């Protein structure tokens, strides 16, 4: 279910609060700016590396691309049918990856706002996503207890990792992109080889 768009004032307040966490939230060359739960219409802000745009997503099922100086939305990305839980930028900054409670991952062109790929396979909400350093693959985790690996260019599911017995809350990749670490409500953490899919 999508939630009504908040007022501009509320969004600005949220952004100010989010920016206060900037230095502590740097990850992979981009800045993930979490918004306090009590104001969680907007779930996440993402500041591009060159600090030219802010990408936000949230409960209204949209992704907004804003100018840092004016705060104006110059791209509104629509397509998800439920809360958008997160956004990430490709290493080259040209694509936005979004994931949602609607169980899809979508890839968007930053410049045009066009949806490039829609990845379907998970059966329940997607909680987290990680991109390989080359930007060619996406790893996702879900409430459906699985981890999946996707080809960015084709949108196809390459691999499915099973083993967790509860929600998979997050995934991370080693610096070389060859290994996946996942963690779950089941209290276990798995290491998996991206190429060989062997759990250690």
pLDDT tens by residue, 115-139:
999 999 999 999 999 999 999 999 9
Whole-model pTM: value is: 0.76
Please give the pLDDT value at position 121: 97
pLDDT in tens, 52-75: 788 999 899 999 998 888 888 989
CATH 2.130.10.10 domain residues, the chain: 1-113
The DSSP output letter for 200 is -
What architecture (CATH level 2) is domain 1-113?
Answer: 7 Propeller (2.130)
CATH 2.40.10 domain residues, the chain: 121-200
Please give the pLDDT value at position 186: 81
Q: Which of 120, 83, 85 is nearest to 103 (CA)?
A: 120
Query: Which tokens hold the place of 114?
Result: 């066009």
CB-CB contact of 2 with 61 (8 Å): yes
- Which residue ranges in the chain fall short of pLDDT 50? 8-10, 12-40, 193-200
Mapped onto helix, strand or coil, the DSSP state of residue 16 is: helix
Please give the pLDDT value at position 158: 95
Give CA–CA dist 153/111, Å, rounded.
17
Please give the pLDDT value at position 192: 56
Please give the pLDDT value at position 24: 37
List, in order, residues 6 or more apart from 165 with CB less than 8 Å away: 145, 184, 186, 188
What is 121-200's CATH number? 2.40.10
Tell me the β-bridge partners of 88.
97
Q: How many CB atoms lie within 10 A of CB 185?
A: 13
């Amino acid at each position: 279910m999508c939630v009504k768009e908040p007022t501009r004032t509320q969004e600005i307040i949220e952004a100010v609060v989010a920016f206060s966490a900037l230095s502590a939230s740097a990850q992979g060359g981009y800045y993930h700016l979490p918004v306090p739960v009590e104001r969680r219409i907007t779930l996440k802000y993402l500041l591009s590396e060159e600090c030219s745009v802010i990408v936000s997503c949230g409960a209204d099922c949209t992704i907004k691309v804003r100018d840092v100086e004016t705060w104006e939305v110059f791209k509104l990305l629509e397509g998800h049918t439920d809360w958008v839980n997160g956004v990430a930028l490709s290493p080259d900054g040209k694509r936005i990856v979004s994931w949602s409670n609607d169980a899809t991952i979508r890839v968007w062109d930053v410049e045009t706002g066009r949806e490039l790929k829609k990845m379907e396979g998970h059966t329940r909400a997607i909680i987290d996503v990680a991109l390989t350093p080359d930007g060619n693959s996406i790893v996702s985790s879900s409430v459906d207890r699985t981890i999946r690996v996707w080809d960015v260019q084709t949108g196809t599911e390459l691999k499915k990792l099973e083993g967790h017995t509860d929600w998979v809350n997050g995934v991370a990749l080693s610096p070389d992109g060859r290994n996946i670490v996942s963690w779950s409500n089941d209290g276990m953490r798995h290491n998996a080889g991206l190429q060989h899919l062997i759990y250690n």
